[in-house]
Structures are given as structure tokens and as C-alpha cells.
Structure 1
Amino acid sequence: MATHSVKVVSGLRSNWTFKEKDSAEEWLEVAQFPTNIHLDLIKHNKIPDPFFEKNELKVGWVAEKHWSYKTTFASPANASQGKTYILAFDGLDTYATILLNGKEILKSDNMFISHRLDVSTLLSTDGSENELLIHFEPALERAKQIRDAHPDHIWKCWNGDTARLAVRKAQYHFGWDWGGVYITCGPWRDIRLEEYSARLSDLVAAVSLADDNKQATVTVTAHVDSPKDANIAVAAKVVLSIAGGNVSGSTVSLESTATIEADGTSVATFKIDDPALWWPHGYGKQNLYTVTAKLFGPNNTIVDTITKKTGLRRAEVIQEADKHGKSFYFRINGVDIYCGGSDWIPADNFTPRVTEEKYRAWLELMVHGNQAMIRVWGGGIFEEDIFYDLCDELGILVWQDFLFGCGNYPAFPEILESVKTESRQNVIRLRHHPSIVIYAGNNEDYQLQESFGLTYDYEDKNPDNWLKTNFPARYIYEKILPDIMAEDGNGVFYHPGSPWGDGKITSDRTVGDMHQWNVWHGTQEKYQIFEHLGGRFNSEFGMEGFPHIQTIDSFLSPNSNERYQQSSIVDFHNKADGHERRIATYLVENFRTVEDFEGFIHLSQLVQSEALAYGYRGWRRQWGDSRRCGGALVWQLNDCWPGISWAIVDYYLRKKPSYYTIARALRPLGVGIQREHWDWSVTHARPLAKTKWETWIMSSDLETLKGKLEVRFISISTGKDVAEPLVKDDIAVVPNGTTDKVFTGEVDNVATEPHVLSVTFWVDGKVVARDVDWPQPLKYHSFEDRGLKVSFDLPEKADGKKRDAKGKIVVTVEKPLKGLVWEERAGVRVSDSAIDVVPGDEIVVDIFGLLKGEKELSWRYLGM
């Protein structure tokens, strides 16, 4: 969080109008501000809902036109001598020409760059209104001109038109394998007129913690803009203090006066004993310190004030040689953190309509789902300030990509200069956030280099040589960006790409991070072997699943004859190449197929849920094996439109079953049980005579806990135990690791009927974790007549907000049940879903926001 006291003369958020440039049409009011052209055209019914049916095809013309925006504003009253007036543009999308009172003042060609223009001599002085006019050119047209002017560059990319590589614009706007082609333009971030005589341009707090965390050294640097009158600013005072109700322990208020140095900086260093540290959620509180700089002028008057909130923490990426190769995991304040989490794409194709409330809803899902880290993917945007503020507040670790994705980017001198400005601006803007713990240079550009055989000699350390190869963007990833991070990154770790590992092939499982797409893409392995496919940090992997039927209905006409799983419109809303074959393959391999649409949706969701369970459960187990796996980030948390994709929560924030499956796998205390894999396809369904199995306990708790573990063997067809349970009392759980192979055994597949392995773990007499292993594939078993009983115990009224009204759902079965999924209803939240239930267990699910007398949630399970 950052605040600034520079006087905003005009917020310039009102009076905006737009039209097609050079047309005779009237100027129309914008939908909102900030805005983009699609939102404004929607407001005036100039285009249909771009997300409905195949309307993406009907709105493509918007990106081919030139568009103009204008507003008027008054000049400051009685503007005094010595004042500077700045027009600040936080973001213009993308090729923009700006005119003030008819005079061109800026041409911009980078969506990610902000601009500050001194307009002191350009404002009207006769009492008339100032006119601000912005013309936007078609981004794809301009990008194609650049591409065509450089035929010597090898224009290769995955997803979208190759011309996208030539323009510094959100790359997903050109279409991706989970979203449509919506090439936007417009003033997508704030515009304002500022007045000042002298100004604090930035404030940064560099934190150093003692090894025992008992003392913090905080070096605070304020940056002062050189004023027009050198006598105005005579001193800068930097104040460091603790504020806010979320701070634990003692508070401190320290103050120091520092002079302005020749380079325009003022520096003060503070020592804080027993500091209140910032922790990821689940490990401690998210304590934040308020850092303030005040600039004083004549007569000790305050000329400017700037305030930021930051956290005191030490973040490390541990890369050490070990028996598995070279580690890659995160350590915060001396504590190793297993980073289970998600990848993030922009939450809308039209980002100005993503509100603070939506950002909060998305990020609270991370906390509710026990996810520690979110990766901001390189084909989107540097997110809004509120995104990172919320990550600070909620304790979510952020992996931030620089904005390059799946391409061989050019490195012409003008692009390099633009990239430098873009990257430095955003690193400086974000460097006070304790949540950001790593920057990566790009998304999958080194993989693309391998795929197309582009030149990359890791042993050549001369950056000038890199620009002469057919993979010149190496200069960006290994020269420009690390230099910026070293100068302005405030100590945050830099990683050249994702995936990347010390120059080795990106599929190397012994070093760095990897994107494991040999389930779904690539060799299309069985998802049951996910745990054997991982690397040191699995920063992408995934499986598609349909969203809930309400989301499908949002882009289909009522009573549409397209309401089936293979319809043209449904296929149109799935942008993944070959999705029909891949969904069908994983579904047919594992489940009995069904014909009804909602049944198919449920099965696709179970495929996704099962696949991700095998990945998360197996890789978290490896955390205890010399940190063999440092984390797993699912592709992807969210969607930018109502589509069918790898998202675990859809565009409307409806959680798919896989969201809950991941949450269980990442609980602070979890158990796993699993048979060894048997590839029924290779053996033509001939079963193994005996199958080995193992069970383990996973813990992120930093203390040693003790508990009881029980393994049961339960017939799928009768619900009866086919063998005596195995019980072990007083198990000492390894802290922040894995208690492996608590029980091991063999299933006699000849002598014993098909049965589930059910494991339960108690601490202090309370069930804290369960897991169920099913004989694979599930299509070989029947699931009718499970004897399911569901009862709702709901409050009669809400004490306070209805959304917080808590009830419970109690579930029992007579036979093992697979994949009990609750209806997702707006305003109602359940603590668990996609549940496996076995006889003898009473599963209690907390439910929020539903009162007695209201319609109870519906449900579905496998074989229903």
C-alpha cells in the first residue's frame, strides 16, 4: 500500500467521451474510468456481449479501427509561481498520441509504461477549459508493420499472431489456449493533473534481518525531485513507525532527519529490536510497518509526504547441491516453506472492470484453499497495486514473471529501451511489497528456443554476442532484467525464466523449475504417475475440467440446441488445441462415459480433480525427501472469460471440484495412501497378482505432533471390511516434512475383492486428515446404491452478515462413495467438496450463507 500527498488538481476521471476517430458520429460517454474500448461499446450497445456464444467473431472489427478519447478540465485557480503541473498517465493501451489544447505532447507505444509530463506552460490561462485528446491506433496493425519491416528476425511463438511479439502489450489480448482474441485499446489506468513545488518521487525500505530474527536493520531512502527553486526544499525527514491493528508484539516509532544529497536522495537507517515479522499465512501474522517520508520547505512547512506499508522479512531461494541434483525452494525468515499454489492470469479480458472486491474474492480463495504462492504469469500484466496489497495483507507469496510469454522476442534497440523503462518502472513500483519473493524473466521462452532449435550457448557469457544470434531476447533475460533487479529490486531473487535451470534443458528434473505438461500435452502420460514426472519445483502442470452448468448457460441462449458437450459453441469456448481428444482420452481411460450433459461435466471435473490430487499429494510427499520438490503451482487458478480450461475456479468465481481436492492436499496436516501404479492399457487390463501400497503423513507444522493413524480395507461392492484395520498409536510426526511409509503392504488382487484403502489420522482424539485410495481405473467398478445420507443443520437466522452464518452438512454412506460434489451457489460457501466417503465415517462439512428454510444445496457423485 502506498499513499502520496502531492496535490491532485484534477483526477480527470469525469467528462470522458469517445468515438471512432475521424468519424462523423457523436462523442459518447464512457462506461467507466479507467476504461477500454470494448467496455464503452458494450455500454452503448454498439457491440454484443463479447463472451456470449461466438460473439468474439462479431467484435473483431473493433481492433481494426482507430479510436479517440477526450475530456476537458479547468486550469488550477491562481496558479502560483514556482509550481509544477504534471499530467500523469498510469497506463495507455497501447499506441497512443496525446494532445493537450491541440498540441501533441506524447506518443506512447507501451501499455506497461507510465508517463509524467510537465504541462505547466501548456495549460489555458484565459479561463477556458483545457482539452485532453488521446488517439489510439490498432495495435495488431502496427505490430504487423514492425514484424514485416524486420524479416531477418525469426518470428516464432505459441498462441496468437506472431506480430504480438513486436508490441509491448498484454500478450493474452491476441488470444491464448484458454482465452479469445480481444485486442483492446484505451486509457486502461488512471490519469490525473498534479501540482507541486517539490516532490518525493519514491520511498524504499531495504530490510536486513539478523539470523536469529531478533533485530532488523531498515535503511529508508527517499527520492526527491529537483524543484524549480532550489531554496524550497531544505530538508527531508524520514519517519518509520508501526501502525495498524494487525501488528503483534511491541510497537515502535522511530524518526530521523536526513539531508538531501546531491543525487536527490535522503537516507536514514533504523535498528529495530524484536521486530514484528511478516509471514506467509499459516506460519505467523502478516505484520506491516508504515514507512513515511516528509519533505520540508521554508519555515518548516511540509511540502510533500509519501507513505508506504512494507513487511520485515527475509526471503531466500535455496539452491544447493544434493542427492537429487540442485534444490529449488523458498525459505522465509529462516523457515522452509512448501509452496503449493496456483498460476494467475488476468481475471478478465477487459481488466478495468476487475474491482477491488473481485481481487479480494480471488485472493481469499488462496487462503481458504491452503495455497501459499501465486505466480503472476508473463503473458498478462503487472497487476494493479491492490492485488499486491492484498497479497501482503493475506500472506500470499508472489512469484512475478516479467511480461514475455511463449515467443522468440526481438531485441531491436528501440524495443530494448522500452523494455528497460517498462521493467524498471514496475520493479520500483512494487519493490516495497513483502509478498513478492521472486521475479522470473519470461514464461516458456527458453522452451520455445529449444523447440525451434534457436541458438543458445550457455557457456558464452558475452552479452553482445547474444544480440547477434537468432535468440536475441537472451539479452533481455540475462542482461537487462538482472541488472535492473540488482539496482532496483530491493534484494528480491531473480530467475532468468520459467522454466529454467542453470542453462540445462528446460525439462531437466534435477535443477530449477519445470513446467510438467506430459500429462494433457506432450506424451499424454497417465495422471496416476504425476508424482514420478516432477522436478525440483513444478511451476506449471494441469488438467482441464468443465465449469459448472450455470457458467456454461451464461454463454448459451436459453433452450439452445447447442447445450451438449460436443456442440460448436461449447467447443468455441475451449481454446486448447486438441481438447476434444485429450478430454476424451483421460475420461475414457478412467471413467464410464455418460451421455447427459451435466453428467459429462461432472466426469470431466472428476478427471481434473483426480489428476491434480495425484500431482499435489505425490509432490508434497517429496518435500520430506531432501526438499526434492519445493512446490507445485497448478495451471491455473482463474479464467479471463467463461470458458472451458485448466482453471480450478471459473470466471464467475465458481469453484470446481479440483479446488477442494488441492485444499485437502495442502492442509497443514495431511495424509496420503496410494497403491503402486499399474498401467492397465499396456497389460490389456490383465491385473497384477499383488500390488504394493504405502501411506504417509505430511506436515507444515513447525512442532512435532503425535497422533494415531488407521488404515482400513473396505469392499467397493458391499461396504464391508475385507481385512482387519491397521492401527498405530503415538506416531511422532516429522515437523515441516514427511513421515514416510507409516504403513506399507500388498493387496492380493486374486484373493481379495476390489476394495478401497482408507486412512485416517487423529490428533488429540480429533480427526485431522483423511485419504482414500481406489483401485484404478475407476471405470472397472460399479458405484450404484451407495446408501448415501445427507442432513443439513442450518441456522434459523444470521447473526451479523448472512454470508458468515454457519451451519453444517453431515454425510454418511453404507458403501464407499467417490466424488461427492456440492452445488456451487452464489453467496454460499462450503468448507469441503469433491469428497470420498467410506462406511463408518461421519463427514461434517461447514456451510456458510445458507439459512433454515432456504433451498438446500444439490449434489452429485460418481455413479449417481
Structure 2
Amino acid sequence: MSDARGTGPLRQALHDGWTLRAVSGPQVPAEVDGRQVPAAVPGCVHTDLLTAGLIPDPYLDDNETRLAWIGHTDWVYETTFDRPSGEHPRIDLVCAGLDTVATVTLNGVEVGRTENMHRGYRFDVGSLLRAEGNTLAVRFDSAYRYAQAHRDRLGDRPNAYPEPFQFIRKMACNFGWDWGPTLVTAGIWQEIGLHGWSGARLAAVRPQVTVAGRTGRVELRVEVERATDRPPTVTADADHPGVAGGAADVALTVRAEVAGVTAEVEIAAGERSGVLTLTVDDPELWWPRGHGDPARYPLAVTLLGGDGELLDSWQRRIGFRSVRLDTTPDAHGAPFTLHVNEVPIFVRGVNWIPDDTFPTRVTRDRLAHRFDQAADANINLLRVWGGGRYESDDFYDLADERGLLVQQDFLFACAAYPEEEPFAGEVAAEAAEQVTRLAPHPSLVLWTGNNENIWGWHDWDWQESLAGRSWGRGYYLELLPRIVAELDPTRPYWPGSPWSGREEIHPNDPAYGTTHIWDVWNTDDYLKYREYLPRFVAEFGYQGPPAYATLRRAISDEPLAPDSPGMAHHQKAADGDRKLRRGLAAHLPEPRDFDDWHYLTQLNQARAIQLGVEHFRSHRGLCMGTIVWQLNDCWPVTSWAAIDGDGRRKPLWYALRRAYADRLLTIQPRGASAARDGGQPLDGGQPLDGGLAPDGGSGRDGGQPHDGGLAPDGGSARDDGLALDGGLALVAVNDSARPWRASATITRLTVAGDPRAKSTLALDIPAYATVTVPLPAELVRPDEAHGELLVADAGDPAGRALWFFAPDREIDYPPAEYDATVEPGDGGQLLRVTARTILRDLTLFPDRLDPAAEVDDALVTLLPGESVTLTVRSPAPLDPEALTTRPALRCVNDYHRRPPANVGEAS
């Protein structure tokens, strides 16, 4: 950009012509030592070596292990460039992101050092530039060596994994996690370039957007840097003597415009900041998904010199909306209710991890696809987990555009973090930069101080080993809330996930604030979700393997088996396979082979999370949000994700789409309390049975339980899912803006389809409310538990709810019988299945036939005589016979009275 009255600011990317080489060391393989290879910038060492053919794909088999040497090696990036034309008193080298311990030199002169992946850096380099042939080099020292040196200096501190990730400000999950590989990266991972400017520049722009009544307000805080803020510079090139120091320290003008409203402020000579206020009458509001349109307005800011010359400009799209967090104590503890535009939002959320171990592979298009997958599953919030990164501008722009709420953790996860220098200063600088950067985005509604660290200090045997050393408390309860309050008071801050709101209350008490539920995965059956009556569930999850095509791309085992070497390497959770087996044994038949194991473990994952979500949503009012662990994966792995590392939807995704639907019909155990409730909406969040469940749990891979909380007196469940006194209720959840009036038919019938009892209930559910109706005794008392079920149907769009009186492994299913036809249609192939017997959780896996094939629905239960039409899309038509038979088409009653066999070979 330039201005006719002056040279104007210059921005020149330096992304071309880079090379990469390893600094020699005993760990460097001979085929890499001494080699100089082309480097992509932005990028990282692993992807450059992979492109050059010097390493195997880190995601395949156990290649990750053989590539550990990369994180222990120093690396040098280098390029050459010519000085840009034009006269600018200041020319800065701007590095948006360096990963992580970097030394930057220009023409052999060191211009700066960095040690934080999560910050940007700016270096004044004008005096060092030549007309031609400038050499820029960035050396990255080993992240391991840096972290281990600080660990040795400050004393070790406990964490979840045997890696020193809390001793470096770097993406923690690079060091391996219970779902991620250990691939410690280095490189120029964000943009790098030159910024030439005169007089002054916009150093920071922070719009604080609020709404009161029908009035929107933008309080715009601007900070400038003047060319005279640093010593005058003189270029080293005689042909370009430069301009000493830049323009005089004169008055500046900042002008802003939004929604047709303009304002300006003068920054007097010698001053560095100014505040503008823009008031917009009756703006269109930004609303989250399910509540209205996410309206946005361009906000333009210009910086003008004393003579009106354009010095700098800034533009973003903002949204007018208010956000607050209600945590006011009540009779049941303290809620955690997010209000947007003064409307309480039930959070239907998922946790988000980095979508790739190598962030530069996550393009805007890839993010857009992932966000579409989230929206299509009726998700309204993404929690950006604290072991990854502060997400990109593209991420937030897409969330703004789609009305997806975002909760951003500060980057601390599952460890005791030192508060000594240099970390305290780095954390403060990083937090200030990121709070400022993300301030314009209406989708960002909550900052969270850390993931599980306060909980860890309480329950994971940290205190004795810390012996009084710092562990991060000062960050979460002092530094970070102060920075958010100073730089962006329009957004709430919550010290941790989980967090109860006060230090004297256990941080994971379900009655207060947010809770994580991990005892279900680690030690207990998923029916235990029904024992919890939490205020807000910020993490809970259950594992399942990725899609078959994903496994086949990533793992070369022959044959595939749950415990074959590649499968074992791509299972990072402690005792993960044992926990999968335990979960299957409680509910489903024993698998005969790998194909059975794959289908049943994916099915069990989907059922566990659907049960949990429906239970928590059925207590809307008391509980005001669930954030499932997790939406996505960063590589091919058995994990808690709904979308696997190759971007394929697992059965869990389809279950989430149902459980998170705007209108949900569900049958829930309520005990005698269901009759007391009388079918009325819950009153302000009061639990039906009274009391709150103990957490009793820990993080995904273990930890110590605590003793707080009380179990509900009537809602616990046996293996068959029935409440102890046999009480059941129909719960209708309406999370839409319109009242829901419907007639619900509830039928008790045999698995052969013979009706035994029937009742019709009138439902009248207000917008954003829940109604609970007890079911009569003739419905909830089966003649034969192992052969009967309940079906509740209220018509579209809520679909129907099912209740089985026994686990599948005990149900007398008939052998699956159905008619299937395949024909072209709707841009793909239409598979129509008509059931001659009940078909329990019918699921099609078209990726078995073509890795690019997808299907529009899954986990469909058909009663005798019912039909479903599934749409399959693939690059080429698939074989109809293969589409309609095992292993592509599966249902639970495939396993009718079949003797178990060795879980070994795949089809």
C-alpha cells in the first residue's frame, strides 16, 4: 500500500529461496548430514525433509520413533534477497512465528534471539541492508536441549508425560500426548518479511465491542510506535544512505469507521496512544449458531501524519454482541452459564486440538471443511485446548463467519509450570500479544487459564514432589486475569478447566463451575455418566479407532489386529486397548475378528458419548453445557475424536449430530422423582433427584480421585440401564427459537416387532427449554427384559428415542434379515435397506471399498418392515454387492449366537 503524498508503508514477504541444513552432530544420519535442501516458508523441518525424500512419512507405522533425532538437532534456515526500493526511515524484519529457540542474523550480524513459539518478533534491520545479496539466516537450537537446561536449573516439576514440555514456550503436544505423536518441530512456522515505514505505525489496535440495549459501542484503543522511538539508523549501502530517524515527533491522527459511523482522535507529539469511541444505533447483532445470524461489520482504522499523509492502516470485521458468564452461587452450588446478548446458551461443544502436528499443513480450506463438519453435527462451540496453539486468524475468521463460539485456553496443559524467569516474562508478553490479536473476533467468548493444572495440583500427587516450587498458580489466578482485564475486559476469564470458582472448593467439584469426567473412560462403565448432575462438563470422552481406510493408509501390519505392532503404536492412551475391551464386554458381543472389533469399538464409542450428552442435556437448566473430548485428530490414531486424522467421520460424528440436534427426544431413568416432576420444565436448574455426583475421576490417562460430592438418590443405573426403582421418563429438549408442540407415541414392543403396550403423550416445550414426562408402569416394566425395547416417536425433526431393557450382549436378537437395493441418484448411489427383522445400529462403511467414499447417515436402527435410504458419494460407483454385505454393511445382530473367534484377521 502507498500514498500519493509520500513513499507509504512497505510490506514485503520473505518466503522464497530458503534452504535448510542440519548442524552436524552424532545423532544426524549420514544421508542428512552435510545436505542443504530447499525449505518451504512458512513450514518446518519435518515437512522439508519429507519433501526432499530424506525421511519417511512420520505418520506411518512407527516412523515417528525413528525420527526422534530431529528434535535433538540444531537447524539452520537461510535465504538471500535484495533491499526493497523506496526510502523508509525504518525497515523492520517481522517474524510472526519462529519455532522456537532461534537466533536471527542478517549479513552475519545477529539481530535477535527468540525462545517462544507463541509470540511474534520485530527487529530494526535498516542499517544492515545492502542493495543486493542480503543473507538472512535463522538458526534453531534443539528444543530438547533448551528445555532440559531450564529443567536442570529450576528443578524438575511433575507432568502427565515423561517429556520436558513445560520448560519451553512451545506447542506442548509436539512432545507427544495420549492421542499424539512425539514429533518435536523447528522452523519458520508463520509469515516472515520486511516492513518499511515512515513517521509512525500502528503497533496495536484493540477494539472493545459492547452492546447495551439497542446501542452498539466500539471503544477503540490504539497504540503507535514512532520512528524516533529507536536510535537513528544508517544503511550500510552507500547507494542508499537512508533517512535518519524518520519524521519528526509530531501530532498524529487516528481515524476509524464502522457501520457508517466515523470518529478520530489526535495523538499529540510525544504521545503513543489514543482512544476513540464509535457508537452505532440499532446494529444487527452477532449471534451464535441456533440463535440468529452472525452479522459482522468492517472496522477500518487509518493513521495519518501531521500533513495528512497515510502512514498505516488496519482493518478487521467485528460483531456487535455482549457476552457474560453467570457463576452466581445458588442452592445447588454455582452455575456456569454463558450468556450472549443476554440470552443463556446451552453449549453443545467439542474440544479442538491442532488439526495437524505440522501447523502449516492446516490451510484455510481445510479449516473451513472441519468447521462445516462441526456445524453439520449441530456443534455451537469449539474449545481450543491448552496444549496446542493460539489458533490462527483464519480459524477465528471462519468461526466468526459461521457463528461458532470459541473458548481459547492459554497454553498450559497437564503439568506444573515454572513461574521463574525467563518464563514469567515470556508468558506475560505472549498473553498480551494474543489477547490483543484476538480482540476483534466476536466468536471468542471465553479465555481459560489452563487445562487440568489446578486439578493436577490437588489430586495428582504433585505437592510433595514440588516441595514448595512454583507450579503456575500465579499465572492462572493473578497474571492472566490481570492481562485480560486490562486489555480486553469485554470477555470473561476462567482460571482453569476444570475450575470450581473458588480455591476453597475442589477444582473438579461437579456442583461448581466446570468439571472433567474421566473416570468413565479410565475405570467405569459409561452408564456412570447418569450418576453425574454437573453444572457444565468441559471434558468427557470415550475412545474408538479411526476409519478403516485411515488405518490401512497409515499401518502396514498384515494382518491387522487390535494388538498388531502398528495398531499398538497408534494407540497412545495408557492401557487403551484394555479399556476398549472392558467397555465392549459390558455391552456388546465378543468380536470374532478384526472387522468385528473395528465396528464394535467404534459403535461403543458412539453410544457412550450419545448417552452422556443426552443425559446432560436432559438436565438443561442445572447443566448448561457439554464439551465432548474431542472433535478432531492431528494424525492417524485410535483416540477420542469424532473426525479421524485423515478427516473421515467416525460413527461418533453421526451420534453427536443426533445428540446435539436442536430438538432432542430421549428416554431417561428418573426413578420416583420422574413422577414428582410431573412433566414440567426444570425450575432454574434444580436436579430431579437432588444432590450431585462425585467426580471420582481423573485425566484421560489416570490421576487420583477426590472425595467431594454426593450421588443422586434415585438415578443410578444397573448394567441394564434401568433406574433402581424402574422409573423412566420421556425428556423433550427444545434448543431452538420456536416452541415445540408434538404428540409423542411411546410403544413397548418385542425385538420381533410385536407391540406389548402403548401410550400417547402431548408435548408442549417452550423455546430453549426442557420438559420431562414420567412414563406409565405398563411401559417401563417389560415382560422379558432381554427381548423388549421402548420406541418413542414425536415425528421430525426430533426423530425418535429408543430404550433397550438389557445390553446387546444379552438381547435375543434374531439373525439380521433385510432386502437391499442400490441405484444411482442424488449425485451418488442410493442404498435402500428394508428390514425383515430388527436391525440394530445399521452402519455402512463405504471407505472399505473406496477410501474417498462417504455416506450421509449411520447408526440407524430399523424395526421390521421399516426402510432407510443411505446416500453414498464416491469418485466412481461402488460395487452394489460389496455395498450390501459384510464388512461394508454391519449391524449388531450380525453377531446372533455366533461363537467367538480369534480377533486377528481382517477381511
Common fold: TM-score over 0.5 = yes
Counterpart position of 1:693 = 728
Query: Match for residue 93 of structure 1?
Result: 99
The aligned counterpart of 1:236 is: 253
Which residue in 1 is equivalent to 2:560? 563
Whole-Å separation in 1 of the counterparts to 2:755 and 2:599: 29
Q: State the Cα distance separating 1:823 from its structure 2 match.
A: 2.2
Residue 436, structure 1, aligned to residue 436, structure 2: no
Residues 137-216 of structure 1 correspond to what in structure 2 (within 5 A)? 137-151=141-155, 154-161=156-163, 163-197=164-198, 198-210=200-212, 212=213, 214-216=214-216
Contact 2:719 2:806 in 1 (8 A): no
In structure 1, the partner of 2:435 is 427
Residue type matched to 2:133 in 1?
E
Match of 2:291 among 275, 283, 287: 283
Q: 2:521 is paired with a residue of what secondary structure? A: coil
Instruction: Give, in whole Å, the separation in 2 of the partners of 1:444 and 1:415.
Output: 19
Distance 1:276 1:187, change over 3 A: same
Deviation at 1:46, TM superposition (A): 1.4
Letter in 1 for 2:568: D
TM-aligned CA deviation for residue 772 of structure 1: 1.2
Q: Residues 6 and 305 of structure 1 are in contact (CA less than 8 Å); yes or no, is this contact kept in structure 2?
A: no
Answering whether residue 836 of structure 2 is matched by residue 832 of structure 1, we say no
Match of 1:116 among 113, 116, 122: 122
Distance 1:421 1:225 in 2: 17
What secondary structure, in the 3-state scheme, does the structure 1 residue paired with 2:128 have?
coil
Q: CA deviation at 1:697?
A: 0.5
- Structure 1 SS opposite 2:127: coil
CA distance in 2, matches of 1:827, 1:555: 15
* C-alpha separation in 2, matches of 1:194 and 1:110: 21
2:256 counterpart letter in structure 1: V
Q: 1:761 aligns with which of 773, 780, 794?
A: 794
SS of corresponding position for 1:382: coil
Structure 1 CA distance for aligned equivalents of residues 627 and 721 of structure 2: 35
Map 1:543-562 onto structure 2 (within 5 A): 543-557=542-556, 560-562=557-559
Structure 2 SS opposite 1:664: helix
On the 8 A contact 2:837/2:865 being kept in 1, the answer is no
Is contact 1:342–1:373 with CA below 8 Å preserved after alignment?
yes
Shift of 1:122: 1.2
Flag the 1:849–1:685 CA change in 2: closer, same or farther, 3 A.
closer
CA distance in 2, matches of 1:192, 1:610: 50
5+ residue gaps, structure 2, are: 1-6, 26-32, 229-245, 672-712, 895-907
Measured against aligned partners, the alpha-carbon deviations of 1:619-642 in whole angstroms (never above 9, x if no partner) come to: 01111xxx2111111111111110
Question: Are 1:380 and 2:388 counterparts?
Answer: yes
The equivalent of 2:573 in structure 1 is 576
Residue 528 of structure 1 aligns to a residue whose secondary structure is: helix
Q: CA offset at residue 589 of structure 1?
A: 1.3
TM-superposed deviation, 1:284: 0.8
Counterpart in 2 of 1:715? Answer: 750
Runs (5+) with no aligned partner, structure 1: 242-251, 457-466, 797-804
Other-structure match for 2:399: 391
TM-superposed deviation, 1:256: 2.1
* Map of 1:133 onto structure 2: 137
Could you tell me how far 1:6 is from its partner in structure 2?
7.7
Match of 1:459 in 2: none
Q: Do 2:348 and 2:626's aligned partners in 1 also have CA atoms closer than 8 Å?
A: yes
Provide the C-alpha distance between the structure 2 equivalents of 1:171 and 1:684, rounded to a whole number of angstroms: 39
Q: How does 1:587-602 map to 2 (within 5 A)?
A: 587-602=584-599
Q: Please give the root-mean-square deviation of Cα atoms over the aligned residues, in Å.
A: 2.8
Equivalent residue letter for 2:512: V
Structure 1 residue 759, shift from structure 2 partner: 1.0
Aligned to 1:739: 771
Residues 103-134 of structure 1: CA distance to partner in whole angstroms, max 9, x if unpaired? 1111111111110111111111xx33111111
Q: Distance in 1 between matches of 2:272 and 2:218?
A: 20
Q: 1:571 to 1:822 in 2, by over 3 A?
A: same
> Structure 2: how far apart are the matches of 1:418 and 1:657?
42
Structure-2 change in CA distance of 1:829 and 1:734 (3 Å): farther
Separation (CA, whole Å) in 2 of partners of 1:685 and 1:671: 20
CA contact (8 A) 1:446 1:506 kept: yes
Partner in structure 2 of residue 814 of structure 1? 836
2:772 equivalent to 1:728: no
Contact 1:714–1:756 under 8 Å retained in 2: yes
Aligned residue in 1 for 2:521: 520
Cα deviation digits, residues 786-820 of structure 1 (max 9, x gap)? 44344556437xxxxxxxx4886554423332212
C-alpha distance in 2 between matches for 1:306 and 1:618: 47
Shift of 1:496: 0.7
- 535-544 vs 776-785, which moves further: 776-785
Decide whether the 8 Å contact of 1:562 with 1:569 is kept in 2. no
CA separation in 2, counterparts of 1:150 and 1:403? 20
Deviations 1:386-417 (A, max 9, x none): 11111111111111111011111111132100
Q: 2:109 aligns with which of 103, 108, 120?
A: 103
Q: How many residues align?
A: 808
How many Å apart are 1:336 and its aligned residue?
A: 1.2
Q: Deviations over 1:631-689 (max 9, x none)?
A: 1111111111101011111011111111111111111111001456999x998999999
Task: Report deviation, 1:490.
Answer: 4.3
SS of 1:272's equivalent? strand
Secondary structure of residue in 2 paired with 1:121: helix
Task: Give the SS at the match of 1:131.
Answer: strand
* CA shift in 2, pair 1:670/1:789, >3 Å: farther
Deviation per CA, 1:760-800, whole angstroms, max 9, x where unpaired?
A: 113xxx5532121122311002434344344556437xxxx
1:333 matched to 2:332: no
Query: 1:21·1:135 contact (CA, 8 Å) conserved in 2?
Result: no
Instruction: Map Cα deviations across residues 61-93 of structure 1 (whole Å, 9 max, x no partner).
Output: 11121111001110122x42x521010011111
Offset, 1:44? 1.5
Q: Is the 8 A contact 1:342 1:634 kept in 2?
A: yes
Matched, 1:773 2:816: no
| Cα distance in 2 between the residues matched to 1:486 and 1:87 | 31
Q: Identify the match of residue 702 of structure 1 among 710, 720, 737.
A: 737
Deviation per CA, 1:400-437, whole angstroms, max 9, x where unpaired?
A: 11101111111113210011111111111111111111
- In percent, how many aligned pairs have the same letter? 28
Name the CA shift for 1:443/1:133 in 2 (closer, same or farther; >3 Å). Answer: same
User: How far apart, CA to CA, are the structure 2 residues paired with 1:527 and 1:485?
Assistant: 38
Between 662-671 and 7-16, the greater mean CA deviation after superposition: 7-16
* Residue deviations 1:160-181 (CA, integer Å, cap 9, x gap): 41x2211111111111111121
| TM-score normalized by the length of structure 2 | 0.84
Partner SS state of residue 205, structure 1: strand
Q: Distance in 2 between matches of 1:304 and 1:357?
A: 30
Change (3 A) 1:744 1:483: farther
1:325 to partner: Cα distance: 1.1
SS of match in other structure, 2:174: helix
Equivalent residues of 1:690, 1:749 under 8 A apart: no
Shift in alpha-carbon separation, 1:474–1:263, aligned structure 2, 3 A: farther
* TM-aligned CA distance change 1:853 to 1:616, over 3 Å: closer
Worse overlay, 782-791 or 543-552: 782-791
CA positional deviation for 1:608: 0.4
Counterpart of 1:492 in structure 2: which amino acid?
A: R
**Separation of aligned partners in 1, 2:722 and 2:730:** 22
Pair 844,271 (structure 1): closer, same or farther in 2 beyond 3 Å: farther
| Contact 2:100/2:116 (<8 A) preserved | yes
Q: What is the rounded CA distance, in whole Å, between the counterparts of 2:661 and 2:722 in structure 1?
A: 34
Structure 1 Cα separation of the partners of residues 63 and 516 of structure 2? 33
User: Contact 2:97–2:191 (CA<8 Å) still a contact in 1?
Assistant: yes
The Cα of 1:48 is off from its aligned counterpart by 0.9
TM-score (norm 1): 0.89
Q: Who is 1:799 aligned against?
A: none
Relative distance call for 1:689 and 1:139 in structure 2 (3 A) is closer
Q: Answer whether contact 1:75 1:130 (CA < 8 A) is retained.
A: yes
| Letter in structure 1 aligned against 2:43 | T
